[in-house]
């Protein structure tokens, strides 16, 4: 080999090696977790954030934040900024990790007919029990929220774990789980956000690449409000691009609130933007994390 080629090749190999190292580092950060728990047929992982300086004798809220399809706990934490709010307000956040490649949640069919749905719901219950056994958590102020496929799982938790969660929230939720079912138990208040420009989970429903039926957001919210026993539906045009529908009068003061953002795609309002070319625009008309937290604080379990 001519000696004149050695230096350029060495430099090229070094650049490739550095690029691979950066890629590995990025993947490690994307899939970062710091805890695991035995649930079902194996170990399930999660990312936990506990603010510094919590008083061990003062029970604090817990928020379970669920990532979407092809996302991860660390990415969900970065995008939604729940940890920053937890540090300010004094509550614990935990981000469970889905299964499969890419990561996802099988939360489409009722527990009675779907082992996959049951395994995910059991994992979330086990995760909450584990954190409550380790930290001083207020059992009446445990909440769940999620985005897209994770928002779909959050809606399942509202239907199936009313004994655990005081309220739930969803962003760009994939509502494939039927909200009808037993209605004599405690209804779980729900808050939702959906972009009118969402092409991944269209607000009008009908995602064709899924074999599960996907209703419109309005249809699903109407059905869930009936489950909660809500008797009143009100509509407000808050700004040119922001609408709010509120269902009230439910049993035990349950309410269902959902925001439509005319300038948003499949994104977290007020959060770290996702690539426009894939998800559409991120709206700053409202901060979903802060508004969701205010909603949660109005609803304790007892």
Q: What is the pLDDT of residues 15-42, one digit of tens each?
A: 444 343 343 445 677 889 999 999 877 8
State the pTM of this model. Answer: 0.89
Q: What is the pLDDT of residues 166-207, one digit of tens each?
A: 999 999 999 988 887 656 678 999 999 999 999 999 999 876
> How does residue 61 score in pLDDT terms, banded at 50, 70 and 90?
very high
CA angle 151, 234, 231 (to 5 degrees): 85
CB count, 10 Å around CB of 117? 21
Q: What is the pLDDT of residues 205-233, one digit of tens each?
A: 876 566 677 889 999 999 999 999 999 99
Average pLDDT of the chain, as a whole number: 88
Residue 6 has pLDDT above 70, yes or no: no
Tokens 């004094």 belong to 90
How far is residue 251 from each of residues 145, 184, 229, 255, measured CA to CA in Å?
22, 9, 6, 9
Residue 12 has pLDDT above 70, yes or no: no
Write out the two tokens for 272.
């770290």
All structural domains of the chain with their residue ranges: 31-297
Question: What number is the average pLDDT over the span 91-120?
Answer: 89
Query: Domain 31-297 carries which CATH code?
Result: 3.40.50.1820
Q: What is the pLDDT of residues 245-282, one digit of tens each?
A: 999 999 999 999 999 999 999 999 999 999 999 999 99
Per-residue pLDDT at 28: 74
Percent of the chain with pLDDT over 90: 74
Residue 69 has pLDDT above 60, yes or no: yes
């Amino acid at each position: 080999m001519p000696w004149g080629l050695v230096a350029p090749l060495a430099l090229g190999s070094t650049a490739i090696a550095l690029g691979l190292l950066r890629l590995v580092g990025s993947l490690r950060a994307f899939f970062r977790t710091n805890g695991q728990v035995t649930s079902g047929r194996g170990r399930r992982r999660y990312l936990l954030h506990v603010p510094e300086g919590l008083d061990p004798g003062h029970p604090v809220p817990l928020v379970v934040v669920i990532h979407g399809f092809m996302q991860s706990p660390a990415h969900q934490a970065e995008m939604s900024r729940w940890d920053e709010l937890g540090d300010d307000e004094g509550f614990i956040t935990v981000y469970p990790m889905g299964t499969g490649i890419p990561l996802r949640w099988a939360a489409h069919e009722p527990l009675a007919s779907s082992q996959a749905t049951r395994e995910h719901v059991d994992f979330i219950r086990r995760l909450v029990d584990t954190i409550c056994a380790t930290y001083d958590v207020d059992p009446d102020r445990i909440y769940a929220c999620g985005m897209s496929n994770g928002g779909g799982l959050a809606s399942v938790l509202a239907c199936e774990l009313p004994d655990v969660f005081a309220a739930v929230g969803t962003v760009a939720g994939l509502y494939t789980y039927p909200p009808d079912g037993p209605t004599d138990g405690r209804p779980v208040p729900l808050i939702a956000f959906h972009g009118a420009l969402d092409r991944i989970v269209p607000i009008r429903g009908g995602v064709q690449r899924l074999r599960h039926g996907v209703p419109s957001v309005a249809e699903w919210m109407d059905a869930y409000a009936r489950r909660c026993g809500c008797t009143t539906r009100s509509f407000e045009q808050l700004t040119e691009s922001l609408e709010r529908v509120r269902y009230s009068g439910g049993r035990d003061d349950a309410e269902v609130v959902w925001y439509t953002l005319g300038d948003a795609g499949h994104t977290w309002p007020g959060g770290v933007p996702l690539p426009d070319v894939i998800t559409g625009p991120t709206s700053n008309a409202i901060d979903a994390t802060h508004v969701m937290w205010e909603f949660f604080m109005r609803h304790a379990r007892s």
